[in-house]
Chains A and B, each alone.
Chain A
Amino acid sequence: MAEETPKPVELTDPVEITVDGETVVAQGGDLLIDACERAGTYIPRFCYHPRMRPVGMCRMCLVEVDTGRGPALQPSCMLPVTEGMTVDTRSDTVAKVQDGVLEFLLANHPLDCPVCDKGGECPLQDQTYAYGPGESRYVEEKRHYEKPIAISETVYLDRERCILCDRCTRFADEVAGDPLIHFIDRGSSTQVNTFPDEPFSSYFSGNTVQICPVGALTAKPYRFKARPWDLTEVESTCTRCSVGCRITIESSQDQILRFQGVDSDAVNWGWMCDKGRFGFEAMNSENRLLAPMMRGEDGELTEVRWSDALSGVTSELRRALDGRGPSSVALIGGSRSTNEGAEAWARLAKSVIGTDNCDAQLGDGLPAEAALGLPGLTIDEVCAPGSTVLWMGPDPLETLPVLQIRLRHAVLNDGVRIVEVGPARTGLRSLVAARVPAAPGRLADVVGGLLGGDVADEFAQASEILRSAGDDLRVVVGRANLAESPDTVLAAVGAVRSALPAARFLVALGRGNVRGALEAGLAPGLLPGGIPLSSGELPQGWESIPAEEGHDTTGILSAAAAGRIDVLVLLGADPLTDFPDRSLARRALAAARCVVAVTPLLDASAAGAHIVLPAAGFGEVDGTTTNLEGRVTPVSAKVTIPGTARADRSIAGALASRLGATDSWDSPEDLPGAAESATDGDGPASGPDGDLLVGIDRELPIPSVGDLEVPPTDAYSLRLVVARKLYDRGTMLVESPSSAALAPGSVALLNPADAAPLGVEEGSRIRLISASGSISIPTVPDESVPKGSVLVHHDLEGADPRELVDISDVVCDVRVEVA
């Protein structure tokens, strides 16, 4: 059970109160329940949660409070501390009330404890032992409900066990913004339920299981898997996206059984998204790669010994080096790895092999110089009370879910104003103060216009909000549209910076440890720590640096397709699935002489590789990771790496030594992580918030984009927008049984005004045709898609929009025909 400690508070208004006879200094206005806990006096509670508004429902935290008019019973979760307050948490009256409340709660609570997931870590159980009656006087029949009912794909609800504390329902409404569960009926028949035929389909549903103070809510992936006393846990960081939620990994019998959110004040406040929470299932998949494989003479991948596989890779690398030289070798990926793993691969590539063809991104991000080199912002700074945010990034709900939770809180409680500019409405929806559509290719013009005050009347308010922030404008930037060149985003960054030179940015890159991998040097033109290759500096412990600058993933794949790459190493990367231009990815992988895939699971690209090396997965390697802010936090090994799979660092080290590197690569001390040595704190393990990288404010020259040639639109075409959904057909999701079914089918969303002339309605099939290919796809008219655009999501079941994209184009225009 994850701890729920009072959220941090600054002592700006000290007041003296008396708690059980002892004088205590507390922050005025702090809730009494928190003030007492900080002072070492725990007041029992069920409904109160430090990250949600108090409701005072369970009545367990009643204490006697005297503010000068004699002691009165008050719920300490709703009472702000004031000077001179005298609190008695242990008087006879309080003890009787606590005893009574527990007896009431237990009256109808079934004695499922021996078979209940919560048994052993159950607040109701624990508090009954501590404060409750020895036995019940309740002899009536307990109330009965169907046990349990599925309220979503992953969460079960047992209403008999529910003590109606309002935690899950408040979370759904207040924190997640998905008010899909609520109380129905009243009196002792009050129960939590969904609306009829409407499941609790929230990306955050798993949090309700974590905060449920009894076993009423249970998660399908964990149900009946272990008893809490059989679990051991270690603190770590989720790397499914780049938010970097702090978590505990809990396992039993060397198998990861669940993740729980840890309250990091700077990052996730204890929350997680379901994709992260249940992502451990993929690591337990029976399809995990357990041994290296090489493509035999029959063309099939067959298992081989590690020494044979490593020799195979080494000889291919030697052949390439001896032939066309280092630049015929390229590495794509590394964002799945730890900082240390990424550092090892960067060192192998750049110091040992001598190639700069490294990129941790897959053509779906921004150039590394922009990702690392813009003046940075933390999540806290973006969400700081009163700040004004220009959102020109991807959908936070779909790509960085817990950031969406933070933004939601900031907007609803702290007066943060968000102006969203982009090609399609995001999950921020009603949270934005204003939304300004920007057709693909037009982002820079729109942003420039807004900041310059040169806009149509309907956007005057948006412009006014942005302009009123001045230099303090906080910009979140990223790729909202994968069918649009990153240059359009860079141009918009340029437009912001020319209007507001002091503006700061949070770069919303999606992949897990992408920031750490780029920082480690898995980026063309950069050495570890974001030092430009052109500086000629030799990183500590390196033997050499590449002689010439390399390509990013788009460049690497283009070179490969043109036959100029001999060995292509995929570090947990799957270009066939993730690269926005499918045709290029296909041609590149087919043309590379040798494709080496280093991955825990056989993804689409690895399935066609020549050599497959099984890599350790999440929860199997110790190290650090870096989130989108540049915050370094530990990731921890909890279970044994399955089969003969090996950690990245070990694989890179083995290859390095076979290639003649003389240093030892085996122990962590020999590999000072760039990140680890560059942080400002006592190392990455100092507290749940981790450490921010020193030099987060470093500035790198951002590649100039010059004048973007955006082709004019014609009356027959729509401009394609490709955005991501949280649940798609990614390998990790497909291997997670409880999440696999959640990916929706692929549809084309277009404005009703564009749909009407075609005579299509919801469900009609249309054909989208570009110069690169065509797809047939059902339509959904949607007001939120701007006129002239068509929105198709990335990598869903059905039609694949990447067939339409040519990565070399600034925008992708498609013709629409009724299929």
Chain B
Amino acid sequence: MNGIVNSLGGTNTSVAPGTPRIVSSRFDEPQGHTLEGYRSTGSYRGYEGLRAVLDMGPDEAGEMVKEATLLGRGGAGFPAGVKWGFCPPGVWPRYIVVNGDESEPGTYKDRVLMERDPHQLIEGCLIAAYAIGAAQVFLYVRGEMAHAQERVAAALNEAYEANLVGRNILGTDFSVDIVLTWGAGAYIVGEETALIESLEGHRGMPRLKPPFFPAAKGLYMRPTVVNNVETLSNLPWMANHGVSEYRAIGTENSPGTRLIALSGHVNSPGVFEVPQGTTTFRDLFESPEFGGGIRDGHELKMFIPGGASAPWFFAEHVDLPLEAKVVGPEGSMLGSGAVVVMDETTDAVRACLRIVRFFARESCGKCTPCREGTTWEEQILTRLLEGHGRPGDLELLLDVADNISPGPYPVASDPQNSLEAVPYPPRQTTICPLGPSSVAPITSAIRRFRSEFTDKITRRPSIPVGSETPAPATAATAGEVGHG
């Protein structure tokens, strides 16, 4: 395979032949993470883009990003240039927060970006800070990513020494500091307002929007732009090559490329840079540059197109392009660029439990429906798998889900069973989408594989489940029904 093996274990990286590498051009360079390597390798010369932006002035820099329609790569896909424009004019100081708390199951592109090309991210931060007029940049790296933390910290030290960060950058009157912060190990902190709470030293719990839109009331109640690592990593290339060259890649609505983290039952999982909107899921799974086909001798059962919180897709969806505006109406989302492939050996109920359990464990505990509901869902699924399912459990499961995320649920279309797609995102009774995220796998799985669920109730198989599961309901506790 045409990738390299890093110190944390193999991660394939690749592009399709002929595609320019925007963010991954140094992934295979052994010294790409150093300042020297950043300046001498890759698809552009490091920190030249910054110099160009400093010459053009902040307004033009902002205009460049707007014109390029640089879509956010964190999950929501909102244009970064528009987001920057939400900062109320004349309100200072304002901050940039870089969301490096990548923790959606299946997503690991930002980790690779930080490990293999940290200077690219730093330069991206500087360009953004200059365009927005930010007083400070806060770079928040997920707590568990030790290697990424080391690489980013080392790169930042190099950059400070080379007068690329700090006071009077490159001899101009532009000064900005970049502050590194490590997370403490909570998925929810990937949500921007929870990340801001965490940065302020509080327990990571999301804030309600409105009123706490970061652009208006963000970090320390100041205007704050929160951008994803990959989003900012696009900026140096863009500043070097110009907007028209950037827009020439991908589609009109979704220009440029994006990193896809492919995992699951494919022959060669990895992080791949693909042009937005033109590559299809089939290319991703089957092309030898990418997945190299479904695991030997097996066939696709389902796949998650955009991270664990996305509703599932099935075989009939593989020819859809990786384009948010297409995937959305089909009932799912591209989200954070994590594609998880499952073949026919996968038990849909167990897969569902695996994802639900993740959300139950990671619920921050703030909103009642998410805190109590996700755990309840996990308990019901565990019970089904352990052979303690009851008639009516599926209706109960769906109704608990409905109380977290009032239906109709976003689901993938299934023409054979004449099921229409319901677009994402769902309605929610919670502040953030974590709780509703647990609903997507449940509704997807029950609608498509209902018989697998009912079999577990009627046939009572006994499939052992992981050791974390709570004790099954006993006769004594099962009698504790009703609140009178």
CB–CB B471/A141 < 8 A: yes
Bound complex: CA A784 to CA B138 (Å): 35
CB–CB A101/B208 < 8 A: no
Q: Closest residue to A47 on the B side, CB-wise?
A: B368
Q: Least Cβ distance of B463 to chain A in Å?
A: 19
Which of A181-189, A569-577, A593-601 lies at the interface?
A181-189
CB–CB A164/B477 < 8 A: no
Known contacts A57-B366, A104-B373; is A135 also within 8 Å of B481 by CB?
yes
Contact residues of A between 151 and 190, Cβ < 8 Å to B: 163-164, 182-183, 185-190
Q: Least Cβ distance of B54 to chain A in Å?
A: 39
Q: Which of B362, B375, B473, B481 contacts A136 (CB 8 A)?
A: B481
**Is B82 an interface position by the 8 A CB rule?**
no
CB–CB A186/B363 < 8 A: yes
**Is A284 an interface position by the 8 A CB rule?**
no
Q: Least Cβ distance of A792 to chain B in Å?
A: 37
**Is A58 an interface position by the 8 A CB rule?**
yes
**Is B425 an interface position by the 8 A CB rule?**
no
CB–CB B483/A59 < 8 A: no
Which residues in A have their C-beta under 8 angstroms from that of B456? Answer: none
CB–CB B369/A59 < 8 A: yes
Bound complex: CA A139 to CA B403 (Å): 17
CB–CB A108/B480 < 8 A: no
Q: Least Cβ distance of A478 to chain B in Å?
A: 36
CB–CB A105/B186 < 8 A: no
**Is A56 an interface position by the 8 A CB rule?**
yes
Interface residues on A, range: 35 or more
Bound complex: CA A79 to CA B210 (Å): 8
**Is B406 an interface position by the 8 A CB rule?**
yes
Bound complex: CA A101 to CA B429 (Å): 9
Known contacts A56-B208, A128-B483, A135-B483; is A100 also within 8 Å of B477 by CB?
no
**Is A62 an interface position by the 8 A CB rule?**
yes
CB–CB A73/B211 < 8 A: no
CB–CB A187/B362 < 8 A: yes
CB–CB B371/A188 < 8 A: yes
CB–CB B375/A188 < 8 A: yes
CB–CB B429/A100 < 8 A: yes
**Is B484 an interface position by the 8 A CB rule?**
yes
Q: Closest residue to B428 on the A side, CB-wise?
A: A73
CB–CB B365/A164 < 8 A: yes
**Is B470 an interface position by the 8 A CB rule?**
yes
CB–CB A100/B369 < 8 A: yes
Contact with A along B348-370 (1 / 0, CB 8 A): 00000000000011111111110
CB–CB A183/B403 < 8 A: no
CB–CB B375/A187 < 8 A: yes
**Is A137 an interface position by the 8 A CB rule?**
yes
CB–CB A139/B374 < 8 A: no
Bound complex: CA A139 to CA B211 (Å): 38
**Is B12 an interface position by the 8 A CB rule?**
no
Q: Closest residue to A72 on the B side, CB-wise?
A: B427
Q: Which of A78, A139, A187 contacts B365 (CB 8 A)?
A: A187
Q: Least Cβ distance of B405 to chain A in Å?
A: 10
Q: Which of A56, A96, A136, A189 contacts B483 (CB 8 A)?
A: A136
Q: Least Cβ distance of B34 to chain A in Å?
A: 38
Which residues in B have their C-beta under 8 angstroms from that of A103? Answer: 403
Which residues in B have their C-beta under 8 angstroms from that of A135? Answer: 481-484
**Is A195 an interface position by the 8 A CB rule?**
no
Bound complex: CA A99 to CA B429 (Å): 12
Known contacts A128-B483, A135-B483, A139-B478; is A59 also within 8 Å of B368 by CB?
yes
**Is A75 an interface position by the 8 A CB rule?**
yes
CB–CB A190/B371 < 8 A: yes
CB–CB B473/A139 < 8 A: yes
**Is A97 an interface position by the 8 A CB rule?**
yes
CB–CB A101/B186 < 8 A: no
CB–CB A106/B483 < 8 A: yes
Q: Closest residue to A78 on the B side, CB-wise?
A: B208
CB–CB A188/B372 < 8 A: yes
Residue from B188, B210, B369, B481 whose CB has the most chain A CB atoms within 10 Å: B369
CB–CB B477/A140 < 8 A: yes
Bound complex: CA A668 to CA B420 (Å): 81
Known contacts A75-B208, A135-B483; is A141 also within 8 Å of B374 by CB?
no
Q: Which of B208, B372, B481 contacts A105 (CB 8 A)?
A: B372
Which residues in A have their C-beta under 8 angstroms from that of B482? Answer: 135-136
Q: Least Cβ distance of B224 to chain A in Å?
A: 19
CB–CB A73/B429 < 8 A: yes
**Is A590 an interface position by the 8 A CB rule?**
no
**Is B376 an interface position by the 8 A CB rule?**
yes
Q: Least Cβ distance of A185 to chain B in Å?
A: 8
Contact residues of B between 322 and 366, Cβ < 8 Å to A: 360-366
Known contacts A106-B483, A140-B376, A140-B477; is A183 also within 8 Å of B369 by CB?
no
Which residues in B have their C-beta under 8 angstroms from that of A185? Answer: 365
Residue from A111, A138, A185, A186 whose CB has the most chain B CB atoms within 10 Å: A186
Q: Closest residue to A139 on the B side, CB-wise?
A: B478
Q: Least Cβ distance of B100 to chain A in Å?
A: 21
Which residues in A have their C-beta under 8 angstroms from that of B483? Answer: 106, 111, 128, 132-133, 135-136
Q: Which of A58, A73, A79, A139 contacts B368 (CB 8 A)?
A: A58
**Is B474 an interface position by the 8 A CB rule?**
yes
8 CB < 8 A contacts A-B: A59-B429, A101-B403, A111-B484, A141-B473, A186-B365, A187-B374, A188-B371, A188-B374
Among all A-B residue pairs, the 8 with the closest Cβ atoms: A100-B403, A190-B365, A104-B372, A135-B482, A188-B375, A141-B477, A187-B363, A140-B379
